[in-house]
Amino acid sequence: MKQSTVLSFPVLFGLANAECDPNTIQAALPKGASVNFAYSLAANSTFEVPKSSTGYPTNAFNLPALCAVSVQVQSIANSTYGFGLFLPNDWNGRFLAVGNGGFAGGVDYVAMGAGVRYGFAAMSTDTGHNSSSVDGSWAYQHPERVENWGHLAMHGSTVVAKSITAAHYSRNITYSYYSGCSTGGRQGLKEAERYPEDFDGIVAGAPAWWTSHMQPWTARVALYNLPTTAEYHISAAQFDNVNTEVLKQCDPQDGLVDNIISDPKGCNFRAETLLCGSNATSNDTRCLKGPQLNTLYNIYNDYVAENNTIIFPTFYLGSEGQPALLTGNVPNPLGSDYIKYFLGLGPKWNVNDYNDELVALSDAISPGDATVRFDLSGYHNRGGKILSYHGMIDPLIPTSSTPFFYNRMLRTLAPKGIDADSFFRFFLVPGMGHCSGTQPKMNAPWYFAGPSQPSALGRSVYSVPGFENKEHDLLMAMMAWVEDGKAPDYLIGTKYVNDTTHTEVLRQRPLCMYPKQAKYNGAGNANAASSWECKDLY
């Protein structure tokens, strides 16, 4: 196992004999915080997740030698939140907080495990409740819990975990980082907005930043395609055919026909080519009828208010290949549980009663102040850096929502004379789904050791196997920017022939800094990153 081998940062501050027991940890805690447990684990141990943890029940395997800590912290209105902290014996002097997903409540020990392999002291908060990622019932009539989930738990856990870390090693932390995707991406941007001092560098993937609008949209977009008996309903098999047609029309624009769409905005997609002719059977899966084209239109256009302002930006073309929010008989609970429990309409609320006024209610309540505001000037001014990314076939959090955030942030910062490139860079990832993975028919280079990605390759994976450097590893790119002032213009994504064995590389390709796009040079080995160039297309 490679730990503390961040190649250009070989600083080691580890104190193998630091005390690891509840009394020692308790002594480092502020008032209102108490130790749940603290004990040592030898090298290559398994951390067994406490039984009642529903959010992240998977054990963390093959860990380096470390001190495993859990702490409970008093929050507002009698509520508490907890966090887990891994303190590796071979410490790299740095702190890393990892993020959560969906509505999940729980400590993500697996993500912490990926962090300690670099030598970080790694923390994950439970956000103040125990639940799976699609269960929002804990929020009902408990605004204090929503506030913990929205921002209090991440900030408070970070502050307390940092003080434990400094006390444990009897040293100040050199740099503090954050890494999360989805809700984790939102938590990262929220930290930059509200608590700019917490982190020097923030990795925020596929950020679910517009909670107050995205959650209602999640119900709305599903209702475009329901009920399943409607003549406008598009079945999963039909979406697969739509996907084939989208690939046919939209893939060539990046210079190579390879089933990976890099330039969906450069595609003038004509859905009419899918129209059923006179020979079609009553529910022919090979083609679409007129009313179904309306459904496609709704899905591929932003959700807009009557006055034509955008309520929520929609999917990129290509996302229909894995239509996670569009199939099934009812909308995803990430939409309906939000309306029932975060907006307070209660368990009896029927999703068929959805109406656009719920968006106004959601804005008025702004549950837990979870939605991120565009003014990140405080974070810029303290010298913080942000790296963001978004999979271009993300079927859960529409890809468009990150360019939307970025462009609104530009509008906010430009008048203040702030050059966004100097602190916030983001990368679209062609052919990647939600936070990790690709479709089998695409085999897109999606891997760059982003948050939650290592565990998708295997349980003891460190960095980007075979390419442990700042060009291929997003967290190392972040460190190089913060610590050496080397800002990344692109990353290189990797696809292994077999993700499980991850020995042989199938293809690598540059992931370009928005709004640049990768273009094939037309001659070289298309599977080599060097055959592609990031170009300004607009």
Ligand X SMILES: *[C@@H]1O[C@H](CO)[C@@H](O)[C@H](O)[C@H]1NC(C)=O
Instruction: Verify binding: residue 216, ligand X, rule CB under 6 A.
Output: no
Per the DSSP assignment, residues forming a β-bridge with 438 are: 432
Among 74, 94, 78, CA closest to 86: 94
The only residue of 17, 282, 355, 525 in contact with ligand X, by rule CB under 6 A: 282
Q: Please provide residue 260's backbone torsions phi and psi, each rounded to the nearest 5 degrees.
A: -115, 120
By CB under 6 A, the residues from 68 to 87 that bind ligand X are 77-78, 80, 82
Q: Are 501 and 400 in contact (CB under 8 A)?
A: no
Closest CA to 102 of 140, 131, 142: 131
Question: Rounded to whole angstroms, what are the CA distances from 339 to 236, 302, 356?
Answer: 26, 20, 12
Q: Nearest 5°: CA angle at 47, between 46 and 49? A: 135
124 within 8 A of 95, measured Cβ to Cβ: no
Token output for 82 = 């907890």
- CB-wise, 341 or 389, nearer to ligand X? 341
| Residue 340 makes contact with ligand X by CB under 6 A | no
CB of 521 to ligand X, least distance (A): 30
Shortest distance (Å) from residue 391 CB to ligand X = 21
Shortest spacing between CB 469 and ligand X, in angstroms: 24
In 3D, which of 182, 168, 195, 226 has the Cα closest to residue 17?
A: 168
Helices (H), ranges, 136-283? 143-147, 153-169, 183-194, 211-223, 236-250
CB of 166 to ligand X, least distance (A): 7
CB-nearer residue toward ligand X: 36 or 377? 36
Residue window 155-194: x/- pattern of binding to ligand X, with contact defined by CB under 6 A: ---------------xxx----------------------
Which residue is listed with tokens 């942000």?
A: 386
Which of 117, 129, 168, 233 contacts ligand X by CB under 6 A?
A: 129
Kindly state whether residue 113 participates in binding ligand X, applying the rule CB under 6 A.
no
Task: Give me the 351-390 binding string for ligand X, x by CB under 6 A, dash otherwise.
Answer: ---------x------------------------------
Report the residue number, 62 or 163, with the smaller CB distance to ligand X: 62
CA distance 468 to 1: 13
Report residue 149 as tokens.
């989930």
Q: Please, what is the minimum distance in Å from the beta carbon of residue 2 to ligand X?
A: 12
Least gap, CB of 273 to ligand X (angstroms): 13
Provide the terminal-to-terminal Cα distance of the chain, rounded to the nearest Å: 44
Q: Which is nearer to ligand X, 228 or 530 (CB)?
A: 228
The count of residues interacting with ligand X (CB under 6 A) is 30
Q: Region of 318 please: left (phi>0), alpha (psi -120 to 50) or beta.
A: left
Q: Does 62 bind ligand X (CB under 6 A)?
A: yes
Q: Binder to ligand X among 44, 273, 521, 530 (CB under 6 A)? A: 44
| Positions 494 through 533 that interact with ligand X (CB under 6 A) | 498, 500-501
Q: Are 118 and 112 in contact (CB under 8 A)?
A: no
How many H helices and E strands in the chain?
A: 14, 17
Give the x-and-dash track for 288-327 against ligand X (CB under 6 A): -----------------x-x-x------------------
∠240-428-457 over CA atoms, to 5°? 75
Q: Binder to ligand X among 8, 58, 273, 283 (CB under 6 A)? A: 283
Residues that bind ligand X (CB under 6 A): 36, 44, 50, 52-53, 61-62, 77-78, 80, 82, 126, 128-130, 170-172, 277, 279, 281-283, 305, 307, 309, 360, 498, 500-501
